[in-house]
């Protein structure tokens, strides 16, 4: 059906995710695994970022999309604003780094295809943008409903009207290419900001535990991957993919923001349990292999501090160990004492200037 042009895959991401809360790495993974799926199953490369129902859009998205081969962006959600009407039907969306996408905001995504309504919207669209082509996303929409017989009858009726604009079925890429080639597209406004949705603000205060576990999972999987590479252990391809698949699934735009039904969150917590268990096992395996290669001979108990970040880091290390807390004194590789403090059975010390994706060894001594 795809090869014959009867239907067209859209999206290019693993799911249609929330686009405010996930990390940049997660958004890259959404595209990496989504594009790979479409290429493997259909031989299709998606170039239209299609996120009609997401609750707002981060400012860095054009940069991530363009670097992944996308050229266009479509949503309708900004028309749901409850206070400030959205003023732009089409525009260039520019990220902080200067990357640009041609963006289109159709009039809804569950359009009835009523000819009178389409004519009014098309007239308004032309007055605002000067463009000759417009997009109507018709169908029932929510809960799995697609086009209805009534939709199709209305479209055929509009096609048969002599005084009506040309109406045809088409795919998103062709529509966006036609808009881009229109000379009027050159004078469309440039938006240099996030695309903020007012209507669903409250979702970002619900299901805080899910939001926290999403972030912890993102951090854990990045650390697991970095350590897998740096330590030289057999790369855990399948385990990491299975973890990422679950994290990406739960970034769906009703799960992560907090607008899904309760049963969904039972499943989500089960997925995060799996990610936590699997990811921590990979980290432990990588750290163990790394530690075996590090010179730790010296006076006292060696402590290997690894920095999984991509920049140099100074931070407090906490050793929850009564024996080390009783010793109480910490020195660096040159034997120089470092700032430390004992509190109960825990020993705190300041690890300064630990290199990016690197480590330092400290020793705990009595004194």
CA atoms within 13 A on the CB side of 132: 8
SS3 227: helix
Q: Going by C-beta distance under 8 Å and a sequence separation of 6 or more, which residues neighbour residue 104?
A: 72, 73, 74, 89, 90, 135, 175, 176, 179
Centre a 10 Å sphere on the Cβ of residue 121 and count the other Cβ atoms it contains: 18
Residue 238: C-alpha distances to residues 76, 232, 235, 267 (Å)? 36, 17, 9, 21
- Give the integer Cα–Cα distance in Å for 260 and 107: 25
Q: Which residue has the tokens 């009703």?
A: 254
- Burial tier of 245 (Cβ tally within 10 Å: 0-12, 13-18, 19+): middle
Structure tokens at 187: 């004078």
CB atoms within 10 A of CB 225: 21
Give the active site residue among 18, 45, 53, 114: 53
Name the pairing type of β-strands 328-331 and 358-366: antiparallel
C-alpha to C-alpha distance for 124 and 102, rounded to whole angstroms: 19
Q: Dihedral sign for Cα 128, 102, 33, 233, please.
A: negative
- The verdict on whether 97 is a catalytic residue reads no
- Enzyme catalytic residues: 53
């Amino acid at each position: 059906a795809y090869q014959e042009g009867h239907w067209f895959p859209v999206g290019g991401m693993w799911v249609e995710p929330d686009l405010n809360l996930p990390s940049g790495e997660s958004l890259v993974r959404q595209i990496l695994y989504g594009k790979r799926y479409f290429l493997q199953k259909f031989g299709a490369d998606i170039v239209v970022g299609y996120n009609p129902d997401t609750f707002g859009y981060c400012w860095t998205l054009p940069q991530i999309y363009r670097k992944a081969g996308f050229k266009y962006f479509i949503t309708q959600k900004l028309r749901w604003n409850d206070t400030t009407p959205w003023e732009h039907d089409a525009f260039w969306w520019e990220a902080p780094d200067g990357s640009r996408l041609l963006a289109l905001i159709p009039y809804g995504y569950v359009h009835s295809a009523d000819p009178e309504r389409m004519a009014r919207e098309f007239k308004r669209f032309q007055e605002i943008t000067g463009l000759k082509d417009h997009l109507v996303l018709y169908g029932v929409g929510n809960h799995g409903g697609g086009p209805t017989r009534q939709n199709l009858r209305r479209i055929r009726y509009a096609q048969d009207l002599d005084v009506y604009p040309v109406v045809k079925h088409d795919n998103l890429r062709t529509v966006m290419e036609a808009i881009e080639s229109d000379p009027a597209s050159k004078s469309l406004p440039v938006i240099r900001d996030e695309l903020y949705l007012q209507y669903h603000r409250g979702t970002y205060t619900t299901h805080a535990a899910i939001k926290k576990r999403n972030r912890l999972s993102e951090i854990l999987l990045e650390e697991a991957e970095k350590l897998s590479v740096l330590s030289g252990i057999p790369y855990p391809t399948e385990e990491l993919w299975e973890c990422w698949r679950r994290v990406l699934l739960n970034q769906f735009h009703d799960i992560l923001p907090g607008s899904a039904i309760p049963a969904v969150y039972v499943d989500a917590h089960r997925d995060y349990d799996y990610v936590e268990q699997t990811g921590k096992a990979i980290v432990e395996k990588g750290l163990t292999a790394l530690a075996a290669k590090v010179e730790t001979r010296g006076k006292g108990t060696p402590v290997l501090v690894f920095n999984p970040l991509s920049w140099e880091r100074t931070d407090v290390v906490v050793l929850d160990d009564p024996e080390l807390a009783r010793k109480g004194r910490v020195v660096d590789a040159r034997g120089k004492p470092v700032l430390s403090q004992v509190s109960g059975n825990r020993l705190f010390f300041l690890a300064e200037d630990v290199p990016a994706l690197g480590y330092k060894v400290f020793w705990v001594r009595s004194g």
